[in-house]
Structure 1
Amino acid sequence: MGLFDFARNIGKKIFGSDDDDASEKLQAHIEDDNPGIEGLKVVVEDGVATIKGEAKSASAYEKAVLMAGNALGVEEVRADDLVAPAQTIEVTYYEVAKGDSLWKIAEKFYGNGSKYTGIFEENREVIKDPDLIFPGQKIRIPMDQ
């Protein structure tokens, strides 16, 4: 599962399946904790979220994609018209599994569970509470920790 593919039946409930204003609600969700996107425009249709705008950084781009994709009802994010600078660090995307905690994920990727705070900080817009992650949720793992 790549950065742009998500589990449609898992995620944060932001809009209903028959919501006429799903695009507006998802856009407002991203804007609430805007990771650094200017001119944001979101359209949701048949489980596909299309994001347009200009990201201030590659990390902002990735976070906006994850914020949209981790919404219940979204199975794909298209961001061809979301302009961003190139990523300058190595980043891995991880899909949270049942029984995972940020501590366990940090142990897996960094060999040290106490580095979970770095994962949380890098995903602050995607994860609201480090104790509340869910199976199927996708997060960014910067490999320079």
Structure 2
Amino acid sequence: MGLFSFIKNAGAKVFGIGKTTAEETADEATLAKQKATKLSNAVETLGFKVQDLNIEVNSDNATVWGQADSQATREKVILVLGNTEGIATVDDRMTVEISEPEAQFHTFVKGDYLSKIAKKYYGDAMKYPVIFEANKPMLTNPDNIYPGQVLRIPALD
């Protein structure tokens, strides 16, 4: 799919707040490996099926490889990585087991709400549950979306 841009300072705090003493004394390569491990754990915790998942972090860029079981899983993994505070770009090098249409992405801004987004993309505000469902398990409540968060907007069947 390519390279995706995100807002670096918006997102989940997968890396924690502040640096531990060990992190302050660690070199860049060690920190990058620790960040990659935390991102891999975040993906696995959400239950996404990606064979041979491999993530590398270089500064504010995450590169991901592996074979996702579906296009939706691939896109959700990209969003988990990119919607992490400290990550500005995701270089997607994953393959997909089952091919299906790619979703669009929408960056949530102040004043947005799911029905407004559904109206924009689908022409029907009542289709907001499609967007909510497409972003589970990253979204657990349709009212808890923050500005800068990127959402999947799947094609309607």
- Give TM class, smaller chain: 0.7 to 0.9
% identical aligned pairs: 36
In structure 2, what is the Cα distance between the partners aligned to 1:129 and 1:44?
29
Contact 2:62 2:81 in 1 (8 A): yes
Secondary structure of the equivalent of 2:9? coil
Number of equivalent positions? 143
Deviation for aligned residue 1:42: 1.6
Contact 2:71 2:102 in 1 (8 A): no
Deviation for aligned residue 1:127: 1.9
Contact 1:63 1:125 in 2 (8 A): no
Superposed CA offset, 1:31-59 (max 9, x none): 11133212212222201111121111111
The letter for the 1-side match of 2:39 is L
Between 64-73 and 129-138, report the one with greater CA deviation: 129-138
Partner residue in 2 for 1:14: 14
The letter for the 2-side match of 1:41 is N
Please list every run of 5 or more consecutive structure 2 residues that lacks an aligned counterpart in the other structure. Answer: 24-30
Is the alpha carbon distance of 1:118 and 1:5 closer, same or farther for their aligned partners in structure 2, counting shifts above 3 Å?
Answer: same
Contact 2:3 2:91 in 1 (8 A): no
Give the structure with the higher percent helix: 2
Partner residue in 1 for 2:155: 143
Q: Which runs of 4+ in 1 moved over 6 A?
A: none
Q: Say which of 61, 67, 79 aligns to 1:54.
A: 67
Please list every run of 5 or more consecutive structure 1 residues that lacks an aligned counterpart in the other structure. Answer: none
Superposed CA offset, 1:5-38 (max 9, x none): 1111111111047553211111111111133212
Deviation for aligned residue 1:118: 0.8
- 1:36 aligned onto 2:49: yes
In structure 1, what is the Cα distance between the partners aligned to 2:102 and 2:70?
14
Between 135-144 and 85-94, report the one with greater CA deviation: 85-94
In structure 1, what is the Cα distance between the partners aligned to 2:70 and 2:36?
23
In structure 2, what is the Cα distance between the partners aligned to 1:98 and 1:60?
27
Secondary structure of the equivalent of 1:77? strand
State the TM-score, normalizing by the size of structure 1: 0.87
